[in-house]
């Protein structure tokens, strides 16, 4: 009987890992491939919005895809913490129809918490003691593509994913997690990630200086981080970079230089 229960336990763990890999990989593939295909279809209309003159090679994209898949395997192992919390009853999940007010509040809370975690974790990864082992893999993509969204070394993959179970349990202690809130948050996270690495700036002129939109990061914002490294650590918002003095001093100029080009103009290096 004990052997049967042990075998059942390990089968459950293996099944959970398989399911997590499938879900994470599907999200990544739909987002990265979707943006790649869409931008390919409309390339004639957006080529002048390419941020860098350089273009990533097929080998670059394959490296980013391979590294992203390796990171997804790590994400799936970390995901076991969420599974364990569910099994232990530490992570209550709301049943029935979603409560719209709670759903919106949870999505907003998760996005803000994630952005804060990412900014400070990201800055820590740029410390000399951590950069080479944990973050250099991501910065091999000097001209990133959407496939670089999860192109992390295993150590960074742990840092990138460990916030999820921690965040879930914090929010669930206030109100049971709304399943749709989790779905929307995860969809928003991967969409912003692949667009931020896409290499094309599709925002409109004045976007970065407007009080209505200037607090949102752009593709140029993150592309500058890949080319220069010392600035623009934020994920969704520019708040932390502005408060901490880590926003690129020529961010607005670089952004306007890209979005101000005519379709016939040459692409200039960011």
pLDDT digits (tens, 9 = 90+) for 203-255: 999 999 999 999 999 999 999 999 998 999 999 999 999 999 999 999 999 99
Whether 269 shows a pLDDT value over 50: the answer reads: no
pLDDT score of 81: 86
Measured distance CA(68)–CA(144) in Å, rounded: 13
Mean pLDDT of 107-127: 97
Residue range 71-79: average pLDDT?
Answer: 93
Residue 268 has pLDDT above 70, yes or no: no
Residues, the chain: 270
Measured distance CA(168)–CA(68) in Å, rounded: 23
Task: Determine the pLDDT at residue 14.
Answer: 76
Alpha helices in 126-218 (DSSP H): 128-130, 136-139, 154-172, 179-196
Between 34-38, 133-137, 165-169, 238-242, the lowest mean confidence (pLDDT) is in: 165-169
Q: Are 54 and 199 in contact (CB under 8 A)?
A: no
Residue 4 banded pLDDT, cuts 50, 70, 90: low
Q: What is the predicted pLDDT for the residue at 7? A: 59
Long-range (24+ apart) CB contacts under 8 A made by 95-103 are: 98/178, 98/179, 98/180, 98/181, 99/178, 102/175, 102/178, 102/181, 103/178, 103/180, 103/181, 103/184
Tokens of 20: 């997590």
Q: Token pair for residue 100?
A: 């719209």
Of 167-176, 196-205, 210-219, least confident by mean pLDDT is 167-176
Average pLDDT, the chain: 92
Q: Tell me the CA distances in angstroms from 79 to 83, 84, 162, 232, one per residue in order.
A: 7, 9, 8, 28
- Position 189 pLDDT exceeds 70: yes
pTM over 0.85: yes
Average pLDDT over residues 184-206: 97
Q: Would you state the pLDDT for residue 84?
A: 83
Confidence class of residue 32 from pLDDT cuts 50, 70 and 90? very high
Q: Average pLDDT of 7-17?
A: 70
Instruction: Look at 101-105, 166-170, 188-192, 246-250 and tell me which has the smallest mean pLDDT.
Output: 166-170
Q: What is the mean predicted confidence (pLDDT) over 167-179? A: 92
């Amino acid at each position: 009987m004990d052997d049967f229960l042990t075998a059942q336990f390990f089968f459950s763990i293996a099944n959970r890992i398989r399911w997590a890999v499938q879900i994470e990989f599907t999200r990544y593939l739909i987002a990265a491939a979707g943006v790649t295909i869409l931008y390919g279809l409309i390339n004639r209309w957006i080529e002048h919005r390419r941020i860098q003159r350089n273009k990533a090679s097929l080998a670059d994209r394959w490296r980013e895809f391979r590294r992203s898949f390796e990171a997804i395997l790590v994400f799936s192992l970390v995901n076991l913490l969420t599974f364990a919390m569910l099994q232990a009853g530490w992570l209550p999940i709301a049943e029935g129809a979603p409560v719209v007010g709670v759903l919106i509040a949870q999505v907003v809370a998760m996005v803000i918490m994630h952005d804060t975690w990412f900014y400070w974790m990201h800055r820590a990864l740029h410390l000399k003691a951590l950069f080479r082992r944990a973050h250099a893999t991501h910065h091999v993509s000097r001209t990133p593509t959407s496939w670089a969204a999860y192109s992390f070394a295993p150590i960074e993959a742990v840092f990138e994913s460990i916030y999820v179970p921690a965040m879930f349990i914090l929010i669930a202690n206030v109100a049971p997690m709304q399943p749709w809130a989790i779905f929307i948050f995860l969809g928003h996270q991967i969409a912003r990630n692949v667009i931020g690495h896409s290499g094309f700036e599709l925002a409109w002129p004045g976007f970065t200086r407007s009080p209505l939109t200037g607090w949102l990061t752009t593709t140029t914002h993150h592309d500058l981080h890949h080319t220069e490294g010392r600035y623009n650590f934020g994920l969704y918002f520019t708040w932390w970079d502005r408060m901490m003095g880590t926003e690129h001093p020529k961010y607005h100029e670089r952004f306007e230089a890209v979005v101000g080009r005519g379709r016939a103009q040459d692409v200039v290096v960011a």
